[in-house]
Structure 1
Amino acid sequence: MNHLVSALQDARAKGEAARITAQDLPRAVEEAYAAGLSQAPEVAAWKIGGANPWSRQVFANAEVFFGPLTPREVAVGTDVLSLAGLHAPLAEPELMLELGDDLEAELPFARMGLGFEIPASVLPDGAKSLLTGQMADRAGAGALWIGAVQPFDAARCGAAFVSHFRRNGAAAAEGGSGNIIGGPVGAAKEFLALARRHGMPLAQGQWIATGGLSPAVPAAPGDLLECRAMDMEVRLRLA
């Protein structure tokens, strides 16, 4: 396990694929999540994976999986987000929910926002489609950008909505809440139950990236990302 964690951390530091094979991955889910958490001593956000039909075709997962993000991997409301050091980054629009002060509430969210999740997995091709690999790799942790932050609105988040994603002025993908199994709030609640089951350090102020509203696209410095959904509109320049 120490070899795996070291290899993943070293690969992220160098911005390259990890020098591991499928045989290096944990067999048990608990061990895989422990490996992921050990790479994030301070958790600023959680990203959900496997919440879309297209993801489940790849991973054959029956429930979502997740990974922790560190403070330096999360940005709120900035005009620019750097991709420096990220390995083969992608971009996808997502609805983000922030945990409030009552973690036992049915909907324990204080704020919401619209933004972009930047997956940047360092798993080599032979391990990328394996579920425990995704868990150990923190669900392909890269970066998370959150904009249009406002108080959580359960009615708006619970209603069906469409999203319009543009890259460099051209339509990249149409999507919406229907692309997330159970919807964004349902995925977040499923994540919270799993996080508690696995003893994850949930805390007020952490953000939850609830899953891609549309499929991810390649991301590169200079790209301009825009998204409109739920009467929110955001734009972000990548650097």
Structure 2
Amino acid sequence: MGVTKWIGGALGWAFGGPIGAIIGLALGSLVDGASKSDFPFLGQGDRKQDASRQSTRGTFRSAQQRPQTQPGDFEVSLLILASVVIKADGHQDQRELDFVRQQFVSMYGKDRANQAFSLFKNINKQQIPTRQVCLQIKQMMDHASRLQLLHFLFGIARADGMVTDTEVSQIYMIAGYLGISSRDYDSIKAMFYNSSDNAYKILEITKAATNDEVKAAYRKMAKKYHPDKVMHLGKEHQEGAEEKFRQVQLAYEQLQKERGF
């Protein structure tokens, strides 16, 4: 099986539409002489699943019809949106690039990360149609996976020691295109800042909330950010999910201490 054909099957829905165009161009200099084993970071599924996902390329689905996100689709979406955020402030900081590479290594191991970063560098040379890419992701990716993408993007923005207003605006725009609510956006954003009301923002409540409302908010957010929500993405992405979950727990523990309940 040729590498291009295999990649198309492994990616599923992400190999169609604007994402497919970006990946196709990025792969142009990589596929010559490559073999299937050269691209393990794109994820694999059994042939029946691949065939099913290929049949959905270029289609639009309701939330009820949306297929479960596959690792390859998530990883390619992550690579593209990471490129958008890194270039948001008009220059590419080496610390942000190093953060992306470090995250790939922690998720995939060194060899697989090197393959992913090679593709990322080719994506990074392109002009990304952000809105079209995000709308494709919104139509096809489950909500929990989109929240995981957003969490990763804030991590990139903070990698150089500060999150600029331009980066915040870019991530906010991406969140909107992805169909992520303002409350979910503020919750994840608060995980990367230090302020007196961060705990409330993470739990998606205000300081006027009663103790019972704080407890209810904690249960709701713990369920929303539970690592099991992204089990389908593979163990590689569990660490990021667990970090969101820990932040919810820490926010709740902080309010318990402050309020004395």
The question of a shared fold, defined as TM-score above 0.5 by the shorter chain, is answered with no
Structure (1 or 2) with the greater strand fraction = 1
Name the larger-Rg structure.
2
**What TM-score results when the alignment is normalised by the length of structure 2?**
0.25
**What TM-score results when the alignment is normalised by the length of structure 1?**
0.26
The higher relative CO (CA closer than 8 Å, separation ≥ 6) is in 1
